[in-house]
Amino acid sequence: MDIERGEFVTFLGPSGSGKTTTLTMIAGFEDVTSGQILLDGRDLSNLRPWKRNIGMVFQNYALFPHLTVADNVAFPLRMRGWPKPERRQRVGEMLDLVGLHMFAERYPRELSGGQQQRVALARGLVFSPDVVLLDEPLGALDKNLREQMQIEIKRIHREVGITTIYVTHDQTEAMTMSDRIAVFSNGRVEQIAAPLDIYHTPATRHVAGFVGETNLMLGRVTEKEGCLQVAELGLIKVPPHRNRHEAVTEYDVIVRPEHMKVVRGSEACDLNTFEMTVETVINYGDRLTLVGSKGGLPIRVRLNSLDNLPLEGEVLVFGWCPKDTHLIPRQPAGDRSQDRSPLRTVAGALY
């Protein structure tokens, strides 16, 4: 994995997937089990954490309770032997950046969660580290504040331009903030790509399931060109697959719920259609999700228009455009080696 200077990369994955462990390794608190971590081409493994010049922001902020906001932010500068006047000026700049200059003399416990988070951010950035690591920094905040802080962090990143690695299990956070997302699962990086690529062309079933809602089916290769056999839906038309392997006989077929639509009368596009009973209607106010199942396969359909509101129990014809189908080749049994991409182990994460 290579991360460019100034890039904002998110490690996304469920808890226990190894994203925090990787972060801890980059910070130097955990030994790298295999592989290397390079920073500007120099190996970090023999550098102790305090020599690495990497800023870290912890989930519970880890602000020093006995120091004021200004002293907390000044701490890394003090450790680097900055003279006092310069220290004060730099701390002032950082507090301006995070909008907390009027709180400089307060103690952390006198601040709200969001303010504490911003102090932690200022403290992690003040010494212009080569990289800043953010470990689920918004995990402890409520939803509104979290969205506000996402914008805030993104703005600060834009202004400061420090390479940022952000760990989260929240896909919305990852989507809205990152230049690229690395999706972790079981200690492996499943895919690293721009947010929209992750969403539209997930590399594995895991990624597809973890990022956004998804309809996942199993398609078998048939005689008929450009078609796959799905047990529950029958023959479906699929777009020509770029890297088709002769050996691959099965594909994971992925259709996002927003690409599914209700088919009323004739449609321009040559759709894959099926008939399904609507079991549940989930109303989000601005959109609807219809949940049903076809032959045991659960299917979710997102409707952005609230006209012709479908009713629960109604039987409707649904369909989607073949071009909106995303295919992931399934590795033939016995050929699992290919499953292990160059990004195979967490420890192999290259910086």
Partner 1 sequence: MTQSVANGTASLERGANPTIKQKQQAFPLVLLAPCVVFLLVMFVAPLIYVIVLSVTEPRISAENYERIFASPVYLRVLWNTFQTALTVTLVSLTLGYPLAYVIARRSDWLGTCLLAIVVISFWTGFVVRTYAWLIILGNRGPVSNIFHWLGWEPPQLLFTSFSSTVGMVHILLPFMVLALLSVMKKIDALHLRAANSLGAPPFTAFRTVFLPLSLAGVVNGSILVFTFALGFYITPILLGSPRDLMISQLINQQIEEVLNWGFASALSIVLLSATLVTIIVGNKLFGLDRLWG
**Where does this chain bind partner 1 (CB under 8 A)?**
27-29, 48-50, 52-56, 58, 60, 62-66, 75-76, 78-80, 107, 109, 123-124, 127
Between residues 80 and 340, which has the closer beta carbon with respect to partner 1?
A: 80
Distance CA 130, CA 56 (A): 11
Between residues 66 and 242, which has the closer beta carbon with respect to partner 1?
A: 66
Between residues 78 and 158, which has the closer beta carbon with respect to partner 1?
A: 78
Between residues 65 and 334, which has the closer beta carbon with respect to partner 1?
A: 65
**Minimum distance from residue 58 beta carbon to partner 1 (Å):** 6
Three-state DSSP at 328 gives: strand
Phi-psi bin for 295: left (phi > 0), alpha (psi -120 to 50), beta?
left
CA dist 45 to 29, 37, 59, 291, Å?
Answer: 10, 7, 24, 50
Distance CA 127, CA 144 (A): 30
Distance CA 271, CA 235 (A): 12
**Minimum distance from residue 302 beta carbon to partner 1 (Å):** 41
**Minimum distance from residue 174 beta carbon to partner 1 (Å):** 23
Between residues 115 and 214, which has the closer beta carbon with respect to partner 1?
A: 115
Between residues 53 and 176, which has the closer beta carbon with respect to partner 1?
A: 53
Between residues 81 and 296, which has the closer beta carbon with respect to partner 1?
A: 81
**Minimum distance from residue 37 beta carbon to partner 1 (Å):** 15
Q: Which amino acid is located at 90 in the chain? A: R
Phi-psi bin for 167: left (phi > 0), alpha (psi -120 to 50), beta?
beta
Distance CA 252, CA 215 (A): 10
Alpha carbon distance, N-terminus to C-terminus of the chain: 6
Distance CA 185, CA 12 (A): 9
Between residues 105 and 339, which has the closer beta carbon with respect to partner 1?
A: 105
What are the structure tokens assigned to 306, written together? 């609230």
Place of tokens 């991360």: 3
Q: Which residues are CB-neighbours of 103 under 8 A, at least 6 positions away? A: 69, 95, 110, 111, 115, 119
Locate all alpha helices (DSSP H) within 180-302, ordered by sequence.
195-200, 205-210
Task: Sheet with 297-303: list strands edge to edge.
Answer: 261-262, 315-320, 272-283, 288-294, 297-303
